[in-house]
Amino acid sequence: MKHRLGVNILSIVTFALLWEIAGRMMDTTLIPPLSKIASAWLRLLMNGKLLENLAMSLWTLAAGFLLAVALGVIIGVLMGRFSQVEHFLDLYINALMSAPMTAFVPLLIMWFGLGVQSRIAVVFLFAFFVIVINTMTGVKQVDRIFVEMARSFGAKELEVFFKVVLPAAMPAIMAGVSIGMGRAVKGMVTAEMLLTLTGVGGMIMQYGSAFATDALFAVILTILMVAMIAMQLVKIVDRRLTGWKAEIAIE
Amino acid sequence: MVEIQGISKSFQKTVKDNTAEIKALTEVSLSVRENEFISIIGPSGCGKTTLLKIIDGLIPHDSGQILINGKRISGPGPDRAVVFQTFALLPWRTVLANVEFSLELRRVSKEERTSIARDYLKRVGLEEFEHHYPHELSGGMQQRAGLARALAVNPTILLMDEPFGSVDAQTRQLLQEELLELWQRERKTVIFITHSMDEAVYLADRVVVMTPRPGRVAEILDVPLPRPRIPDVVRRDPKFVELTNYIWDSLKKAMENHH
């Protein structure tokens, strides 16, 4: 673990150095040296522009993502438990799972307008389907012997579900939530770039069209950091809920 | 007392659009006395496990009935508990929480179920492992936990489905001895499914030999060995050798008639 952290740091330092050198050597606005990006980042941080836009983006992300988790898990559970529900829905879920969600943006604008609701809807759509499919698969793959054991000791349907099926499916559900988080960040930026130019996505469009590459890179790096922190948060929740699984995998 | 009266059971099996009816059990009848230890032995696929699940009330049967102390059963009940071949311990629960599981479902209060679970873990020699997870234990220890979970609800009838079938030979012998000791102390009716003749005879008061599919009762044999049974003594007893040989012949005959 320690060893790995060292390699990670070495990788970042090497990459940053190469970037800095390349930026200085090329002497063009297309690839600004890292130091210039850092100063642009500080400037945006100081004048409050970055935080203001970031706050707006994160609100969209949180709302859309949490909605996707809540509804995705509920629908996934229903599909996993009841084959009629699965057969009724799986055609649409599977089709939409790999459909390019950006295609729905014009439709969402017509439905929800250009406000925050539309952006939340985009985030939701990006994250929702993968959570549904993973939850459904997880619920379906619960070992029958556990269910049988619980019934044998007198468990009612709801007890079987909450004490056996849900915890057994939790690793698969959390895998879906984790992938969904990554997709939600993509959805957030996409929505801000394609709908109204707000949030960090809006900043990208603005600096892009102004050829302000240093500020542009500063925003992109910020988004990457947000994505990494978001994934880390999911990982922490995952470890709390399914720590037992990780331990089994190690052995 | 458990009375198994004329139990028959068929399954629908679908293979590539062909649905066939498979007869698992035909007219199985057997009376088990209170506190008796019964072994059921038969070739694989003879429906032993199906019979056990029917006695537990987990799956319905087509005809016949199961009476426990004169009452017809219609589902799982607090008078019975199962010990599973693959242990069926929940991997996200510690050993203690796994034993508590059965008590949780019976609405036993938190403090009470912890103290009951601890007590039974002690009886199976796992008191030092209560905070371990199942995957950290050997197969034999996992099955001890499975046994503790079943005993914790204090059933009068213990249904054991090849419980020692997935542990190594040495552990198996040890578990057999421990089970007999427990049974001698707790006095339960035990219905024990196995495919080992040695195990069937060593443990039981009576051995039920079943035929290949569809499972029927071929023979019911008394085990004339004194208790307590000391493994080394029992296994050298001519009566033990004679009986296991007899069961072997009986099983062979049943297989030949089948083909």
Q: Identify whether residues A131 and A218 lie together within a single domain.
A: yes
**A48 and A25 within one domain:** no
pLDDT (mean) for A30-47: 88
> Residues of B numbered 122-181 whose beta carbons fall under 8 angstroms of chain A's beta carbons: which are they?
133, 135, 149, 153
Establish whether the linkage from the previous residue to B60 is cis, with ω within 30° of 0: no
Question: Residues near B101 by Cβ (< 8 Å), separated by ≥ 6?
Answer: A150, A153, A163, B90, B93, B149
Which of A151, A163, A251 lies closest to B58 in CB terms? A151
> Which residue on chain A is closest to B132 by alpha carbon?
A244
Is there a single domain that holds both residue A10 and residue A111?
Answer: no
Once rounded to an integer, what is the mean pLDDT over residues B98-116?
A: 94
pLDDT band, residue B41 (cuts 50/70/90): very high
Q: What is the mean pLDDT of chain B?
A: 92
- Give residue B251's pLDDT band: very low, low, confident or very high (50, 70, 90): confident
Measure B148 CA to nearest chain A CA, in Å.
13
Q: Report whether pLDDT(A4) > 90.
A: no
* pLDDT band per the 50, 70, 90 thresholds, residue A137: very high
Query: What confidence score (pLDDT) does residue A33 get?
Result: 86
Same domain flag for A114 and A202: yes
pLDDT of residue A35: 86
Q: How far apart are CA A139 and CA A75, in angstroms?
A: 11
CA distance B72 to B58: 14
High-pLDDT (> 70) share of chain B, %: 99
Domain count, chain A: 2
Please write the tens of the pLDDT for every residue from B171-202: 999 999 999 999 998 889 999 999 899 999 99
What is the distance between the alpha carbons of residues B229 and B235, in angstroms, rounded to a whole number? 9
Same domain, A24 and A145: no
Clarify whether residues A27 and A43 are in a common domain: no
In a mutational test of the A interface, the residue from B83, B86, B90 whose CB has the highest number of chain A CBs within 10 Å is: B90
Q: Which pairing describes strands B63-68 and B71-72: parallel, antiparallel, or unpaired?
A: antiparallel
A27 and A104 together in one domain = no
For the domain covering B2-79+155-258, report its CATH number.
3.40.50.300
Task: Please tell me whether residues A122 and A211 are part of one structural domain.
Answer: yes
Of A36-45, B94-103, B212-221, highest mean pLDDT: B94-103
Q: Which residue of A has its CA nearest to B89?
A: A146
HSE at residue B177, side-chain half, CA atoms within 13 A, is: 11
Residue extents of the structural domains in chain B: 2-79+155-258
Q: How far apart are CA B230 and CA A76, in angstroms?
A: 55
CA distance B52 to B208: 13
What pLDDT does residue B187 have?
87
- For range B214-226, the mean pLDDT: 91
What pLDDT does residue B207 have?
96
What pLDDT is stored for residue B192 in this prediction? Answer: 97
Q: Residue B32 has what pLDDT?
A: 95
Are the Cβ atoms of A145 and B58 closer than 8 angstroms? no
Cα B156 → chain centroid: 13
CA distance readout (Å), B34 to A177, B182, B189? 53, 16, 6
Q: Is the pLDDT of residue B137 over 90?
A: yes
A7 and A23 in a single domain? The answer is yes
Beta strands in chain A (DSSP E): none
Q: What is the pLDDT of residue A251?
A: 46
Q: Can you tell me the distance from the alpha carbon of B2 to that of B51, in angstroms, rounded to the nearest whole number? A: 13
Domain that residue A4 falls in:
1-31
Specify whether A96 is located in the same domain as A116. Answer: yes
pLDDT digits 0-9 by tens, A72-112: 999 999 999 999 999 999 889 888 888 888 888 888 888 98
Looking at chain A, the whole-number percentage of residues with pLDDT higher than 90 is: 59
Nearest to B220 by CA among B241, B259, B191: B191
> Quick one: A25 and A38 in the same domain?
no
Residues A57 and A19 in one domain: no
